Structure 1
Amino acid sequence: MADITITVANVLRVDGTTGTGTAGATITAGQPLYADSTDSGKLKLADADAAASADSVGVALHGSLTGQPVKYQASGQITIGGTVVVGEVYCVSTTAGGVAPDADVIAGDYRTILGVGTSATVITLKLFTSGAQIP
């Protein structure tokens, strides 16, 4: 399977907790974010290539440019803006800002679970950063 194809206009918080921060990169709605400790905690696109960048704080709820405020969802239900499979576990992708099915996270990647598909368009976010690189 491939990363979810996200239509940014369709990303919507259903319920759950949110947070805000300052964008450290150009961000679009539906992209997982991490707080870069080497750049004053600015929010950047999460990816599974390194432990630090895989440590997602949530999913962007709107677009933002570098240096501008960005709101993200950290838990609860989110209409992700693409088609998901009910019961499928979704993770931070190796593509920066991508959301991938768990099976696509492979050897050498750092697994961070974002949540589980609970309808054809909704993921229930329950972030879990393992910090572990898959052997």
Structure 2
Amino acid sequence: MVDIVVTPGSVVAGTNSTRDIGTAGETITAGQSIYLDATTNKWMRSDNNGTGTRTVHGISLNGASLNQPVSIHKSGDITIGATLVAGTDYWLSGTAGAICPRADLVAGMDTIQIGIAKSTTVLSVDIQDPGVTLALWLGSGSIKVSTGSSRVSRSRTKPEWRSTSRGLAPTRPSARAPR
């Protein structure tokens, strides 16, 4: 996975920034994606591979250790302190606190968009979490979806789908009749 490489000293909120302040629940570095833990009421690093951490409420504007104050950029423009590709959308990574382009999302990750690059340095933050987890099952009758593109390849048999709390998910097809 290719996460953006943030220079913490270069993270600056834009003039249209919506901000919050709070207390760090762990060591946080400027430019990391973070969320407010409802149990401790402290800010923690978001992690797309973690349990209970797959949420983003903002981006840290400063570094903070446990129980120190942290400023949070919740929406609007931010100079993220990294090289971006203008027009590219950026998402919660599988590395705690990190941000990655959509092409680096893999099966099992939640689709949490953090923002879209307005330039090579400015990220327009508008956090979107539709509650969808990427699934990829390549058994008989499955459908293979290539994230980051509109290409879909189908197998010979028709896929079967079931409804879940997070949307549609493939089910294992029934056994084929003998030929």
Unmatched segments (≥5 aa) in structure 2 = 136-179
Counterpart in the other structure of 2:26: 25
1:131 to 1:52, Cα distance in 2 relative to 1, 3 A: farther
Q: Output the CA distance in 1 between the equivalents of 2:51 and 2:86.
A: 28
**In the TM superposition, what is the alpha-carbon distance from 1:52 to its structure 2 partner?**
3.2
Counterpart in the other structure of 2:162: none
1:110 to 1:51, Cα distance in 2 relative to 1, 3 A: farther
**In the TM superposition, what is the alpha-carbon distance from 1:132 to its structure 2 partner?**
1.8
Counterpart in the other structure of 2:93: 93
Q: TM-score, normalised by structure 2?
A: 0.72
The farther-off stretch of 100-109 and 51-60 is 51-60
Q: Deviations over 1:47-93 (max 9, x none)?
A: 11247312111000000011111111000000000000011000111
Q: Output the CA distance in 2 between the equivalents of 1:105 and 1:37.
A: 26
Q: Which has the higher helix share?
A: 1
Q: Output the CA distance in 2 between the equivalents of 1:13 and 1:71.
A: 10
Supply the AA of the counterpart residue of 1:18: R
Specify the SS of the correspondent of 2:44.
Answer: strand
**Structure with larger Rg:** 2
Q: Using CA pairs below 8 Å that are at least 6 residues apart, which structure has the higher relative contact order?
A: 1
Q: Deviations over 1:17-53 (max 9, x none)?
A: 0011110110010000011223x22111101124731
Specify the SS of the correspondent of 1:111.
Answer: coil
Q: Output the CA distance in 2 between the equivalents of 1:67 and 1:116.
A: 31
The share of aligned pairs that are identical, in percent, is 38
List 4+ stretches of structure 1 deviating above 6 A. none
- For these two proteins, the number of residue pairs brought into alignment is 134
Please tell me the root mean square deviation across aligned C-alpha atoms, in Å.
Answer: 1.3
